Chains A and B, each alone.
Chain A
Amino acid sequence: MISNSQLVNKYFRHSKKFPHIWCPGCGIGTILGNMLRAIDNLAIDKNDIAFVSGIGCTGRAPVYVDFNTLHTTHGRALPFATGLKLARPELNVLVATGDGDATAIGGNHLIHACRRNIDITTIIFNNYIYGMTGGQYSPTTPHGDKAYTCKLGNIERPFNISALVEAAGATFVGRTTSYHTLQLQNIIKKAIQHKGFSVVEVITHCPTTYGRINRRGSAVEMLKWQKEVAVDKSRADKMNPKELEGRIVTGVLIEKELPEFCEQYDTIIEEAQNQAKGKLA
C-alpha cells in the first residue's frame, strides 16, 4: 500500500499553497485521502481523472489534487460532470459533494443523474450541516438536532441519502463513515470500477459547527460515535427494524448492471448515421 508521504508526493499539487482551508479535526481530509488511495490502487493515470465539485467545504477538495479539476457552482457539480463525461467518455469522472450541495440545492440534479445511469462516481460527504457558512441545518440534519438556524431543534425530517439515490435509480450505492477508512477506500474503489452512476455516502463529522452546537465533543468523540452506530450490511440483514433504530447500515447496499448512458448514446449515433446514409443512398 502507498505510504502517506508517497501519496502526498504523487497526488497533491505542489504548486498550490498549503495549508488547506479545512478546520482541525474535519473529516473531509480522511475521505479525500482514501479516495486517492482507491485511485492509486486502481492505477488510473492522473490525466484520465476529472474531479468535479460544487460549493461548500467539500467543494474545495479538487483544488489540492493533481487531476483535471473543476470547482463549479453550488449544487451543480453533477450537470457539469454530465456534460464533461459525454464530451470525454474516456475520462473517469468523480464528483465530490456535501449533503447540502447534493441533496438541497442540487437535489434535482442528483436524482436525475441516478435515473440517467451515466458513468460518474459521486462521493457525498454527509456531515449533517452547512459547515462553510457557519452551521445551518441541512436536508440531513437529524430531527431534533440543533444548528444555528434551528437552535431549538430541527423540526424537519432528514433525507436518508442512500435510500433516496437507490429509489432514484442509482446502480451502485455504498455507505460508510470516515471512521471506517479501509471500507471507505474499498467502496470508493468499487464505485469507480462500477459502470454506471455510483453514489458513495460517507457519514462524517463537523466538530466545529454540528459537533459544537449539539455537544458531541471533539472530533475523536464524533469518530467513536460513527464506530458505534455503524453496522455492516451483512449483519444488518439479520437484524429487525427495532434493533436497527439509530444505527447506520454500511457497506455496498446496491450493485446492479443496467445500460450506461454514454454507451447507449453511442448506439444512437451509430443508428442516426446509418439512417442518414440510407437517406443519401
Chain B
Amino acid sequence: MSKKTSYQLMQGNEAVAEGALASGVSFFAGYPITPSTEIAEILADRLPESGGKFIQMEDEIGSIAAIIGASIGGSKSLTATSGPGFSLMQENLGFACLAEIPLVIVNVMRAGPSTGLPTSPSQGDVMQARWGTHGDHPIIVLTPSSVEEAFHYTTKAVNFSEKYRNPVIVLMDEVIGHMRARVNLPPQSMVERINRVQPNMPPEWYLPYERSANGVAPMASFGDGYRYHITGLVHDAKGFPTANPNEARDNIRGLFAKIERGFREICLVDYELMEDAEHAIVAYGSMVLSARSALEQLRKSGIKVGLIKLGTLWPFPRFALEHYLPQLKTVLVPELNMGQIYREVLRVNAGKSQIEKINRVNGTIIAPDEIVKTVKGMIR
C-alpha cells in the first residue's frame, strides 16, 4: 500500500480514485467516457492490489447494475461516468434509492445536452442529479471545488451512502476533474470509514426494511445467512411488494425521513468573508475558484462581498442562505449552466434580496473579471 503523507501533485480524477480506496471501496464497475476515464483506469490498477475488483461493463446501465449487485454482496461500490452515461444510469439509480442500496456515482460533468462538448466544462447536470430518475426520491449530491476536496468528498460520499443506505452522487465539473494541484492527503489509516449497520438479530427475526431509531434499517449482505427479498417494487418492512396505501406511504416517506434526519450533517457549506458581507457570491465547483479571485479584487476596492461555497447541492442547504439573507443586499450565482442553482437561491430568498446570475453554456468558464464586473454593476 502506498504511503501518501506528504505533498504531491495530483489530478482531480486521481484524487477521487484515492478517496475511493481510502474509504474502503472494493468494487468498481464502469464504462469508458471522457472526462471521467482516469478514475476507471486508476482503479483498474489499484483495486486488485488490495483484493478489490474492477470490471468494465458493456454500458453504463450494466455498470450501475453491477455496483448495486456488488453492494448487495457487501462490497463498498463506486462507478464514475459523465453526462451521457449518467443519463443511462438513471433507472437503476432509482432502484438503488427505493431498495436503499449504498453506492457512489461520480459524474464528471461535460457540456450537454446529448454528446455535447465532451471535453469542455459544464455544470449542467445539477437538476438531473436531483430529479433524473423517475418518481419521488431523496438524493445526496456533493460537489468538490478543489482537487483536495475531490478526495475528501469522495470519502464523505462513501460514508454517507453507507450510513444512510442511499446512493450518493459526486458531481464534479471537468475543470476540477482534470485540474492538477498540490495536495496533502491523509494516510489511509487516518481516513474515517463508516460501514453500513449489519443486523445482529437471528435471521428469523430480521425484517430487512424495518427502520431503526435513526431511520435506517440494518442491511444484511447476500450470503450472510439472512435470506431476504430485494425489489424495485414498493415494499413492506419484509421487503415484499405491496400495494397497500399505508405501507406504500411508509416506504416512500421513510426514504425522505432518513435524509431529513441527517440534513445538517449531509450539508457541507463553507463561508468566506461573510461576517460583514453586504453582498454574496453563491458558488460551487470550479466557479468557487473564479469567485475567490473576484472576491479578492472586490474587497480591495472596498466592496463588502463574501462567498457561500456549496459543497452539498442536494438536499439544498437552504439554511446557509437563510442565515445571511437579512444582511445581504445582493446575491450573485455564477454557474456553467442556464441557472440551475440560481432557481433554488431564488426560492429560498423569497423576495428578500436582489438575486442575480451569470450563466455560461459554451464550454468555457466564467472568469473572475466577469464576476467583478457583474457585482460592481449590481451595486450601482
- Which residues of chain A have a CB within 8 Å of any CB of chain B? 13, 15-17, 46-48, 50, 52, 62-63, 66-73, 76, 78-88, 90-91, 108-109, 112, 265, 268-269, 271-273, 275-276
Contact = CB atoms under 8 A, between A and B. Distances in A.
Interface stretch (B64-72, B136-144, B302-310, B324-332): B64-72
A80 B65 contact: yes
A87 B230 contact: no
Contacts of B55: 82-83, 86
Interface residues of B, number: 45
Contacts of A73: 65, 91-92, 95, 232
Most A C-beta atoms less than 10 A away, residue of B66, B69, B74: B69
Contact of B92 (A62, A76, A85, A108): A76
A79 B230 contact: no
Main SS of the interface on chain B? mixed
A55 B121 CA distance: 37
B222 A82 contact: no
Contact of A68 (B53, B58, B77, B222): B222
Given A50-B222, A91-B223, A269-B48, A84 B230 contact: no
Contact of B70 (A86, A112, A271, A276): A86
Contact of A87 (B53, B65, B92, B241): B53
B48 A79 contact: no
Nearest to B58: A112
A70 B68 CA distance: 11
B339 to A, nearest CB: 33
A66 B65 CA distance: 23
Contacts of A88: 73-74, 221-223
Nearest to A80: B69
Interface in B134-191: none
Main SS of the interface on chain A? helix
B69 A79 contact: yes
B65 A272 contact: no
B223 to A, nearest CB: 5
A71 B233 contact: yes
A189 B191 CA distance: 47
A16 B241 CA distance: 10
Nearest to A268: B48
A234 to B, nearest CB: 36
A63 B70 contact: no
A84 B230 CA distance: 13
B27 interface: yes
Contact of A83 (B29, B45, B59, B228): B29
Given A46-B227, A79-B65, A272-B45, 20 more contacts: A15-B238, A63-B229, A68-B222, A68-B227, A68-B228, A69-B227, A69-B228, A73-B232, A76-B62, A79-B57, A79-B58, A82-B69, A83-B71, A86-B69, A88-B221, A91-B73, A108-B59, A265-B48, A272-B49, A273-B48
A16 B69 contact: no
A76 B61 contact: yes
A68 B223 contact: yes
A83 B69 contact: yes
Contacts, number: 146
B256 to A, nearest CB: 22
Nearest to B92: A73
Contact of B227 (A67, A71, A72, A271): A67
B51 interface: yes
25 contacts: A17-B240, A48-B223, A50-B222, A50-B223, A63-B241, A67-B227, A68-B228, A69-B230, A70-B231, A71-B231, A71-B232, A73-B65, A73-B95, A83-B70, A86-B27, A87-B27, A87-B74, A108-B62, A109-B62, A109-B65, A112-B57, A265-B48, A265-B53, A271-B48, A272-B45
B225 interface: yes
Contacts of A72: 65, 68, 95, 232
Contacts of B69: 52, 70, 79-87
B49 A273 contact: yes
Nearest to A15: B238
Nearest to A76: B65
Contacts of B48: 265, 268-269, 271-273
Contact of A276 (B49, B66, B75): B49
B222 A70 contact: yes
A109 B58 contact: yes
5 closest Cβ pairs, A-B complex: A83-B69, A87-B73, A83-B66, A79-B65, A84-B69
A66 B55 CA distance: 30
A273 B48 CA distance: 7
Contacts of B228: 68-69
